[in-house]
Structure 1
Amino acid sequence: MARADDVPGPAGARLSEGRARVARLARQPQRTLRLHVRRSLPCDAGADRGRRLRHLRRPAAPVRADEAADRRRRPAPVKAVVVGGGLAGCAAALELLKAGHEVTLLEARPTLGGAVQTLPEREGDPRPPPDNGQHIALGCFTEYLGFLRDIDQAGSLRRSRLSLPVIDELGRTAVIRPSALSILRYSHLFPTHRLRVLRTLLRLRRVDPRSCDEETFCAFLMLRLGESEPAIRSFWDVFIRPALNLPCDKASAALGVMTVQTALLSGRRRASDLLLPTAPLGDMHGVAAGHKLESLGARVKTNTRVVQLIPGAAVLADGDRVVGDAFVVAVPPLESARLLDEPDPELGKSPIVSVHLWFDRELLPFPLAALLNSDAHWIFDRGRLTGHRPERGQYLTVVSSGVPELMDVRGRELVELMRDELTGRLGDARLLWSRVSREPAATFEGRPGTAARRRGPRTSRFNVVRAGAWTDTGWPATMESAVRSGRTAARMLSDVATKLAA
């Protein structure tokens, strides 16, 4: 009920005056009691205080205002089971622990981290052992950065302004930076094409990504915005392919537009920054998350595959059951559909192939670079980025995004292919060591029509929520999407906790 002072106009004034007159007429004992409602009475209060009243007025332990509000809002704790220990599952588990719930995390693999892993170390490997791809993030990945802070790994990223050297077939280098002047100087395009790229960027500010999911980003740029084929090949593909794990002529325009708007056109300071890992991916994600979860009281069980969800329990492959009140299903789309008795969302799979090469001399003068018109899309100086340069030569990682044909190329042939791509543009060198890693289902295929098939966190079961980079976060299948989905799913379980406690 509003105070009289809050009532507008003369009526409020009259109510206030009336209240004041009543207060002046009150007897002394009434005044004392009325004051006590607002604060504790001094020890030498009036003689009207009897023993009974004194007992009632004994002050309680003080509670800060923010604590009181938190106590009102926080739901009763529940036993939460998180199925899947990738970034989405780990993020959900951390969020549930923060809310005071009891958490058990179940992961089928031997390690946490999902698609973000470090390969098992072999004798003769340079330090550090290779990762299953060179996962990079952008400055706009705010939830991912928050997740790394939560697991004490914020210092495991090297942050730098976007400055990407792009090397063509003749070994000539031009640099992409997030400025109009840089684009006007981008020598892999004719001047007229550079101006057209700037015009396209201006027009993309006004596009609603949700309106263009039925066409490819390439078709959208060329047919709607008048972009040129050379610009698609030499500029847009360089940026879009690693972000979406698909080239422009296959990727959904909705995801392409969202990526450009968020990273390049948002107006947020340093949103386009490159965030490069300086530690092995497995250590700074799965291992660190596992330690943090256990330190906060979670039960973490690896090599534990969930084969079925029944009311009140997750059934394991060995027949055991893990009892819970609420569940987060944070696994790939097909497995999620199986556990939730849903149809396959048919999102497809897009691979990442990485070839790790140690040469007898330095080839790449930059920390990273992109190659034009090559299956070796991006190159990273792993030794420099991790602070472990080999005593001799250079340790490089070559990443190919969204080229399924490479999955069938034999290891030695693949190594030779990537070696020749590098030495053909950067000069001759002798290969000392190599290793190949392949992720056939690194991400879902973000093709046209994808948005309608990406499911949200809610499921048909009131105490089960869904998470994963593939779910409907509005983001491509990135580490940011994974973390966002996990946190959203965990917050939704607060409603479940309230219902269970009622």
Structure 2
Amino acid sequence: MATPSNTPSAPVAGRDVCVVGGGLAGITAALLLADAGARVTLVERRNELGGATYSFDHDGLVVDTGQHVFLRCYGRYRALLERLGSADLARIQPHFRVPVLSHGRAPHVLARTRGLPAPAHLLPALARYRLLDARERVRAIAAAGALRTVDPDDAANDERSFGEWLAEHGQGPRAVRRLWDLITVAALNTPAQHASLALAARVFRTGLLERAGAGDIGRPLVPLADLHGRPARRLLTRLGVRVATGRRAERIRPDVTGFRVVTGGSGGRTAQDEMLADAVVLAVPPRAAARLVPPAAGAARDDWHRLGSSPIVNVHLRYDSPVTRLPFAAAVESPAQWIFDRTPDSMPGEQYLVVSISAADDTIAAPAARLTAVCAEAVAGLLPAARSARLLDAFVTREPRATFRQAPGTRALRPGAATRIPGLVLAGAWTDTGWPDTMEGAVRSGHRAADVVLAHLASADRTLEGTR
């Protein structure tokens, strides 16, 4: 992560900036603004930083709300981990390799061929993908080649469905289910049928088709709180940032001196407080942003609700004995879309698996008992050792608004960082980063927000100098 000059002569030295939201976007913006010499206050309604990437305790087991992986091409996100000093707490596989499970079959490994340049690095994998027949494989290779020519920044492509595009390029329903949706559902939290072609092209081109190593998968080795939130708090505090957790932003009011930010205890337990700021970064989800942005920011805020949301459900299964050696695996035509081994060192002889279900509109409200039974049965059908293991514990975590709904036409609804009120800036993976709603998108939005704030403060200084 690039660090601007932190010297008294910097234009923003001594200026007050309030960052609302302690997720990856807010953390990134706060770090960069502190680097530039601003006096930064970071307000977060939860008691810990991390935003959507947080952890909690369940009967002595540290549980992440969601299973977050990243790709080698997530350059800004990986730079943030380096800055936080937690890069060693995540591991990137040496080459893209995904075991694909299906009921009653041995795992099929979908992997890139080392030593071959893109896109040839994926040709052997597609040519041997036994979950498709020979004709489907040939058509899949042709479609992958055609996808390299789809411009993810073309607004017309955002208006189209990825599923429609796949059908035009010879991909039948089975090929979509068994191949394309393996990636689309996990990356965009929606199936190809309902996904923006532009966002799908960003995922496949950037992650898989343009550089051989770009799609290598990284995963945390520790709970997300230890990867993001706690190291971020330590670093921000060391840089002089005031970190106010357990505080909820209630109102933001522009005035002649800048902004008045009114906060209160997140549970309504403490009195309201008011702080003055020369600029404000709103790094919160679209619903919260629409509530906080003053009307003078423009009618566009009314469109943010139209982004909608897509849920993710995670089913947590704890077995009395190991049932797989795979660190993670995808599954086709199964309720268990992705399975992650999250067994901590403190659980010898047992295994803790998490089944992650994206695009979970049909299951988000299902009773926990039904979800755990369905997923335990699905895992037993995919991993034979699970049939003889005893299930010690099973529970469900739900993320009703895990991402915005990354459907055709959403690019026009995603706002840029700047609002119509100078100094009031937006951040978050839902803003117009050109990327899907991912950790990389969140960090990129934090960079952009910091750039806009710094430009605003520098401009305000020049205007002030001109009036003297």
Q: For 2:438 and 2:358, how far apart are their aligned partners in 1?
A: 13
Match of 2:117 in 1: none
Which residue identity lines up with residue 431 of structure 2 in the other structure? T
CA drift at 1:173: 1.9
Preserved CA contact (<8 Å) 1:171 1:426: no
Residue 134 in structure 1 maps to residue 94 in structure 2 = no
Which residue identity lines up with residue 12 of structure 2 in the other structure? A
Residue among 241, 247, 263 paired with 1:316: 263
Which secondary structure does the structure 1 equivalent of 2:52 belong to?
coil
CA drift at 1:360: 2.3
Residue 98 in structure 1 maps to residue 35 in structure 2 = yes
CA drift at 1:500: 2.7
CA drift at 1:203: 1.0
Give per-residue Cα distances to partners, 1:9-43, cap 9 Å, x unaligned. Answer: xxxxxxxxxxxxxxxxxxxxxxxxxxxxxxxxxxx
Which residue identity lines up with residue 97 of structure 1 in the other structure? A
C-alpha change, 1:407 and 1:498, in structure 2 (3 Å) is same
Match of 2:101 in 1: 167
Q: For 2:147 and 2:12, how far apart are their aligned partners in 1?
A: 46
Which secondary structure does the structure 1 equivalent of 2:56 belong to?
coil
Residue 306 in structure 1 maps to residue 239 in structure 2 = no
Q: For 2:224 and 2:7, how far apart are their aligned partners in 1?
A: 38
Match of 1:34 in 2: none
Residue among 230, 238, 241 paired with 2:182: 238
Instruction: Please list every run of 5 or more consecutive structure 2 residues that lacks an aligned counterpart in the other structure.
Output: 113-121, 265-270, 296-300, 463-468
Residue 448 in structure 1 maps to residue 408 in structure 2 = yes
Which residue identity lines up with residue 343 of structure 1 in the other structure? D
Match of 1:76 in 2: 12
Residue among 234, 237, 247 paired with 2:191: 247
Residue 114 in structure 1 maps to residue 55 in structure 2 = no
Higher Cα radius of gyration? 1
Which secondary structure does the structure 1 equivalent of 2:275 belong to?
strand
Aligned residues: 425
Which secondary structure does the structure 1 equivalent of 2:364 belong to?
helix
C-alpha change, 1:199 and 1:72, in structure 2 (3 Å) is farther
Q: For 2:7 and 2:429, how far apart are their aligned partners in 1?
A: 32
Preserved CA contact (<8 Å) 2:7 2:36: no
Which residue identity lines up with residue 238 of structure 1 in the other structure? L
Match of 1:330 in 2: 283
Which residue identity lines up with residue 347 of structure 1 in the other structure? L
Residue 343 in structure 1 maps to residue 302 in structure 2 = yes
Which residue identity lines up with residue 319 of structure 2 in the other structure? F
Q: For 1:236 and 1:159, how far apart are their aligned partners in 2?
A: 22
- Worse-matched range after superposition: 202-211 or 99-108: 202-211
Query: What do you get for the CA RMSD once the two structures are aligned?
Result: 1.7
Match of 2:449 in 1: 489
C-alpha change, 1:430 and 1:157, in structure 2 (3 Å) is same
Residue 149 in structure 1 maps to residue 82 in structure 2 = yes
Q: What are the equivalent positions in structure 2 for 1:53-92 lying under 5 Å apart?
A: 74-77=10-13, 78-92=15-29
Give the share of equivalent positions with the same residue, in percent: 39
Residue among 439, 455, 458 paired with 2:399: 439
Match of 1:188 in 2: 131
Preserved CA contact (<8 Å) 2:6 2:35: no
Which residue identity lines up with residue 257 of structure 1 in the other structure? A
Residue 176 in structure 1 maps to residue 114 in structure 2 = no
Which secondary structure does the structure 2 equivalent of 1:232 belong to?
helix
Residue 275 in structure 1 maps to residue 218 in structure 2 = yes
Q: For 2:210 and 2:274, how far apart are their aligned partners in 1?
A: 47
CA drift at 1:364: 2.2
Match of 2:298 in 1: none
CA drift at 1:499: 2.5
Residue among 372, 375, 386 paired with 1:415: 372
Which secondary structure does the structure 2 equivalent of 1:432 belong to?
strand
Match of 1:405 in 2: 362
Which secondary structure does the structure 2 equivalent of 1:408 belong to?
coil
Residue among 364, 367, 384 paired with 2:327: 367
Preserved CA contact (<8 Å) 1:326 1:493: yes
Match of 1:358 in 2: 318
Which secondary structure does the structure 2 equivalent of 1:407 belong to?
coil
Residue 213 in structure 1 maps to residue 148 in structure 2 = no
Preserved CA contact (<8 Å) 2:8 2:37: no
Q: For 1:410 and 1:212, how far apart are their aligned partners in 2?
A: 38
CA drift at 1:424: 2.0
Preserved CA contact (<8 Å) 2:150 2:198: no
Q: For 1:272 and 1:98, how far apart are their aligned partners in 2?
A: 31
Which residue identity lines up with residue 39 of structure 2 in the other structure? E
CA drift at 1:154: 0.7
C-alpha change, 1:70 and 1:437, in structure 2 (3 Å) is closer
Match of 2:268 in 1: none
Q: For 2:431 and 2:404, how far apart are their aligned partners in 1?
A: 10
CA drift at 1:231: 1.3
Which residue identity lines up with residue 128 of structure 2 in the other structure? R
Residue 158 in structure 1 maps to residue 95 in structure 2 = no
TM-score, scaled relative to structure 1: 0.82
Preserved CA contact (<8 Å) 2:6 2:34: no
Q: For 1:196 and 1:302, how far apart are their aligned partners in 2?
A: 52
CA drift at 1:485: 0.1
Which residue identity lines up with residue 400 of structure 1 in the other structure? I
Which secondary structure does the structure 2 equivalent of 1:91 belong to?
helix
Give per-residue Cα distances to partners, 1:52-94, cap 9 Å, x unaligned. Answer: xxxxxxxxxxxxxxxxx99899423221100111111011001
TM-score, scaled relative to structure 2: 0.88
Residue among 453, 457, 464 paired with 2:417: 457
CA drift at 1:256: 0.6
Q: For 1:303 and 1:201, how far apart are their aligned partners in 2?
A: 47
Q: For 1:421 and 1:339, how far apart are their aligned partners in 2?
A: 43
Which residue identity lines up with residue 173 of structure 1 in the other structure? P
